[in-house]
Amino acid sequence: MDAQALADSLPDGVVVADADQRVVLLSAQAARMLGTTSEGALGRPLPEVLALRDQDGRAWAACNTPYAGIATRTAVPEQSWLLPDGTEVLVAARIHRDALDRPVRRVAVTLRSGRGRARLDRERSDLVATVAHELRSPLTGVKGFVQALLNRWDKLNDDQKKLMLTTVSADSDRLSRLIAELLDVARIDTGRLQLYPRPSDAGVLVTRIVESVQAGTARPIHLRIDAPDGELPPVHVDPDKFTQVVTNLVENGVRHGDGSVGVLVEAVGAGHDTDPPGVRITVDDEGEGIPEEMRRRVFTKFWKGGARGGSGLGLYIVHGLVRAHGGTVTIGDAPGGGARLVTTWPSEDRRQD
């Protein structure tokens, strides 16, 4: 494959100029961006072909002077520029010399569409707006009740003080959970999630989780453990992360369901079915369910089903934590018409390197 064909196969536009500042290669993508042709650009001056302007009308070559400047400069960092039609592109360059005391031999410029960055900017803006909204509500409650206690302490009776302090404590817990969720999201996104897995008893852990959630709700939660000889195979998990995932799923069932919540823990693999050896946990609720066309969005950030609160981060974290263990998570229909969320947890260390 020659240089032109190789450049044409790249997703970004490429412009290469020689020591005389003449274009020696222009990829098809760059030609489309710049409104010219690869053949027509050959031999023309780089500033003429690279017709990019900033918001003030200044040219890229005049501002960055790739053929001038100090000899140790090897690159022009990525910058935002405008094509002749006004479209934003992200432009970077590499400057090549044979030696530090030699003149520039070649300049290679890349042009990348700015739409991806614009999308990331919108996502960041949405993230900031959502987080600000989620933080504002509990902070407002904490500030309001604390201010009332400070201003009216002598006028409030003990029951009123206790109610206000209980509310402040609950709002503080909500803030702590949200901050912990945001930290988990950041670790999942950046690949810095740390797991400390060890062989664990899924039945014992799930029983404790169900008892804990049941203590905080009046809605019945039915736990059934299905295992041959009454014993489940051990799962190779981080117990804290496992507890976080299953607690989230059970609490979701309570929050979004209208009746009871069912939790089934069963062995998989090792002759029981075709799955790898481990444990499958199924959580069924009796709510409205999740339409099939919406299920691909459930594990994205800030997805919320219905109007029953939550940060919208829980299932994104569930998905990230389960996959980090080498397990799976799927969504289906519960027998009662609600949602069914199924996670599988391996008995062996199946974490991705």
Looking at residues 194-222, what average pLDDT do you find?
A: 90
Residue 345 CA to residue 276 CA, distance in Å, equals 9
CB 148 within 8 A of CB 164: yes
**Per-residue model confidence (pLDDT) at position 353:** 47
**Which CATH superfamily, name and number, covers 198-346?**
Histidine kinase-like ATPase, C-terminal domain (3.30.565.10)
Long-range contacts of 137-146 (CB under 8 A, 24+ apart): 138/171, 138/172, 138/174, 138/175, 138/178, 139/171, 139/175, 141/167, 141/168, 141/171, 142/168, 142/171, 142/172, 142/175
Query: Which regions of the chain carry the CATH code 3.30.450.20?
Result: 3-113
CB 324 within 8 A of CB 188: yes
Query: Which regions of the chain carry the CATH code 3.30.565.10?
Result: 198-346
Angle between helices 158-190 and 115-152 (to 10 degrees): 160
pLDDT tens sequence across 88-135: 889 999 999 998 889 999 999 999 887 766 666 676 676 677 777 778
**Pick from 286, 274, 281: nearest CA to 226:** 281
**Per-residue model confidence (pLDDT) at position 300:** 78
- Quick count: other Cβ atoms within 10 Å of Cβ 112? 17
Topology of the domain covering 122-190: Helix Hairpins (1.10.287)
Residue 138 CA to residue 144 CA, distance in Å, equals 10
Looking at residues 174-192, what average pLDDT do you find?
A: 83
CB 110 within 8 A of CB 12: yes
- Quick count: other Cβ atoms within 10 Å of Cβ 58? 12
**Per-residue model confidence (pLDDT) at position 352:** 60
CB 178 within 8 A of CB 170: no
Query: Residue 89 has which token pair?
Result: 């592109």
Correct CATH for 3-113 of 3.30.450.20, 3.30.420.40, 1.10.8.60, 3.40.50.720: 3.30.450.20
Reported pTM: 0.62
Which residues, 6 or more positions from 151, have their beta carbon under 8 angstroms from its beta carbon? none
pLDDT tens sequence across 283-315: 999 888 888 878 877 887 767 665 555 567 888
Q: Which of 76-80, 202-206, 300-304 has the lowest mean pLDDT?
A: 300-304
Query: Which regions of the chain carry the CATH code 1.10.287.130?
Result: 122-190
Residue 32 CA to residue 110 CA, distance in Å, equals 13
Looking at residues 55-73, what average pLDDT do you find?
A: 89
